Amino acid sequence: MNEFIEKKPGENEATGTFIGGIKDAVPTMIGYISIGIAAGVVGAASNLSVLEVGLLSLMVYAGAAQFIICALLAAGSPPYAIIFTTFIVNLRLFLLNMALAPSFSRYTLFRNIRLGALVTDETFGVASGKLLAKEQISDRWMSGLNIAAYISWVLACMAGAAFEKWIANPQVLGLDFALTAMFVALLVLQIQNGQTGKLKLYLTLVIMVVLSMFVLCAFFPSYIAIILSTVVVATFGVLMDR
């Protein structure tokens, strides 16, 4: 590579190529393989076949929701209740994608739909971390990130379901903590790469979310507490940031 060749925005190796996206997906993949196996074990324990677990992870592709769907199916909940709960649990993705979508508006509608369909908490976190560091991200990079994460999730879920009987309690190894650790890293990345001079504001928001989660979790299921805390505290953020 000749460093004097002028590169178009989003054309650099790190955030311009499909391979670059796959490389940036590695931490997400570690998390997904760990949690995916656990999700597959839970699915099989809820009397789903390997194929059903595969379809669930292929079509829904959302970790927290999949655990809840399995629990509700096992409990014999009515379909409309399961589907409505899934909708509420995944509404959070609407908020995330509202923040991410403007970076891809230069691409075609079809490409946008394809990119949006595979965004998760984690791939969103990786992408918005790049954006905060003022790096241009391209559609190919985002596809690489999305697809690497997607494939590792689906395969891990199916492996978990297939080998359910042989897998010891995944909690023993600490693997179930992988995604929490990932969220910790993504939060730190957001705060470190955020606008300078806003550290105090960000830390105030963090404390407010912690407090509101404690209060709201006493009254609501946790997935509702997550959305409510986020919406309310982000609004305070706008009011305080003058």
Partner 1 sequence: MSVNLSVFLVIFGCALVTFLPRVLPFILVRNYKMPAALSKWLSFIPVCIFTALIVNSFLVKEGNTVNVDWTVVAAIIPALLAAIYKKNLSLTVIVGIISMAVVRFFA
Q: Which of 30, 45, 71, 167 forms a contact with partner 1 (CB under 8 A)?
A: 30
154-193 mask for partner 1 (x: CB under 8 A)? -----------------xxxxxxxxxxxxxxxxxxxxxx-
- Residue range at the interface with partner 1 (CB under 8 A); choices 4-12, 13-21, 149-157, 230-238: 230-238
Whether the CB-CB separation of 63 and 39 falls below 8 Å is answered with: yes
Euclidean distance between CA atoms 206 and 210, whole angstroms: 6
**1 contacts: CB under 8 Å, gap ≥ 6:** 13
Q: Which of 15, 17, 61, 123 forms a contact with partner 1 (CB under 8 A)?
A: 61
Q: Which of 48, 137, 145, 154 forms a contact with partner 1 (CB under 8 A)?
A: 48
Residue 196 vs residues 134, 165, 237: alpha-carbon distances, Å: 13, 51, 15
Residue 181 vs residues 27, 154, 178: alpha-carbon distances, Å: 10, 21, 5
Q: Give me the least distance between CB of 130 and partner 1, in Å please.
A: 12
End-to-end CA distance of the chain: 45
Judged by beta carbon, residue 16 or residue 223, the one nearer partner 1 is 223
Site for partner 1 in 83-112 (CB under 8 A): 83-84, 86-87, 90-102, 104-105, 109, 112
The conformation of residue 46, written as its DSSP 8-state character, comes to: T
Least Cα distance to 119 among 39, 184, 62 occurs for: 62
Interface with partner 1, residue 150, by CB under 8 A: no
Judged by beta carbon, residue 7 or residue 81, the one nearer partner 1 is 81
Q: Give me the least distance between CB of 223 and partner 1, in Å please.
A: 8
Site for partner 1 in 200-229 (CB under 8 A): 202, 205-206, 209-210, 213-214, 217-218, 222, 225-226, 229
Judged by beta carbon, residue 7 or residue 195, the one nearer partner 1 is 195
Q: Which of 121, 136, 147, 155 forms a contact with partner 1 (CB under 8 A)?
A: 121
Euclidean distance between CA atoms 35 and 183, whole angstroms: 13
Q: Give me the least distance between CB of 1 and partner 1, in Å please.
A: 24
Least Cα distance to 173 among 66, 51, 38 occurs for: 38
Q: Give me the least distance between CB of 163 and partner 1, in Å please.
A: 14
Euclidean distance between CA atoms 40 and 38, whole angstroms: 5
Indicate the angle between helix axes 50-59 and 139-162, nearest 10 degrees.
160
